[in-house]
Amino acid sequence: MPILSQTISASPSAWRPPAGLRRAVAPMALLALWQAVAALGFTSPQTMPAPSLILASLWQLIMSGQLGPNLLASLFRVSVGLAAGIAAGIMLGLAAGLSRLGEDFIDPTVQMARTLPHLALLPLMILWFGIGETPKIVIIALGASFPIYLNLFAAIRGTDRKLLEAAGMLGLSAWEVIWHVVLPSALPNFLVGLRQALGLAWISLVVAEQINATSGIGYLVMNAQEFLQTDVIFDGLLVYAALGLATDRLVRSLERRLLAWRPALLAN
C-alpha cells in the first residue's frame, strides 16, 4: 500500500506540463482570440491592430535602428533611478527598523510622503531640476524607495522573538544578532518589496518619459501618438511589459537562490 500510494501521488506530477508552458497558456489564448477578432474585421487597424501587425511593426523598429538607442535610454533611467530608490529605502528602513529613535524621526515623514501620488510631483521636479534626466530619475527613485522601506521596516520589526531569545542565549552581540538573525529574517519581505519597487519603477518610467523626453520608449510612444501610429504605441507597451516581466523573473530567480531553505519555493 505505501508503494501504491507513492505511485498515485507521484503520477500527477509526472504528467504535469512545465511551469513555463502552463504560464504561457492564458496569454497565448488571449493573443489568438485577439488575432481572430481582428482577422474577422471586428476591430480597426487604426484603433486596435492585430498582434501580427504589431509584431511586424516591432521588427521594423528593430531593423531600422530606432528601438535600440531608445531602449538603452530607458534602461539607463530606470537603472539609475531604481538603484537610488533601493539604496534610500534600505538606509531608511534599517535606520527606522533597528532604532526607536530612528523610527520617531524617519517613519512619520516617510508615511506622509508615501501617501502623496509621486507621479503628480513630476511638474514640481521639472521646476526644481529642469527638463533633463534628473526629474525623471528622481521620480523613478521615489516610486521605488517606498516599497523597499515599508517591507524592510515591517520585516525587521516582525523578527521572531524566539530567534532573538535564542541568539541572546548564545551570547551574540547586538551587531551579530542583526547580521545573523534580523537581516536574514527580513530578507523574504525585502525581496517582496524589491518586486514591488520594480513594478513602480517601470510605471514611473512610462509617465516620466512622456514629458519633455527626447529619447526612450515613451518618446517613441508620444511620437507615434502624434502620427496616429497605433501599432508603434502597442510596440512601446509591449516593450515595457517585456522589460517588467523580465526584471520580475530575475528577482524571483534570485529569491529561489537566496531562500532555497524555504520549502514553499521548492515546489513548482
Cell of 91: 538606509
pLDDT of residue 208: 86
The SS3 of residue 227 is coil
Phi, psi (degrees; rounded to nearest 5) at 194: -65, -40
CATH of 71-257 given 1.10.3720.10, 3.90.180.10, 3.40.50.2000, 3.40.50.12780: 1.10.3720.10
The total of other beta-carbon atoms located within 10 Å of residue 173's CB is 9
182 pLDDT exceeds 50? yes
The DSSP element (H or E) to which 228 belongs, if any, is none
Residue type, 228: L
pTM equals: 0.79
Nearest to 58 by CA among 48, 46, 68, 47: 68
- Name, in order, each residue with C-beta under 8 angstroms of 164's C-beta and a sequence gap of 6 or more: 177, 181, 182
Give the pLDDT band (50/70/90) at residue 262: low
Q: Is the pLDDT of residue 54 over 50?
A: yes
Q: Where are the chain's structural domains? A: 71-257
147-161 pLDDT, tens digit per residue, is: 999 999 988 888 777
Q: Name the 3-class secondary structure at 166.
A: helix
Summarize pLDDT for 109-124 with one digit per residue, the tens. 888 888 888 888 888 8
First to last CA, the chain: 27
Give which of 61, 59, 40 is closest to 50, Cα–Cα.
Answer: 40
At residue 225, the pLDDT reads 81
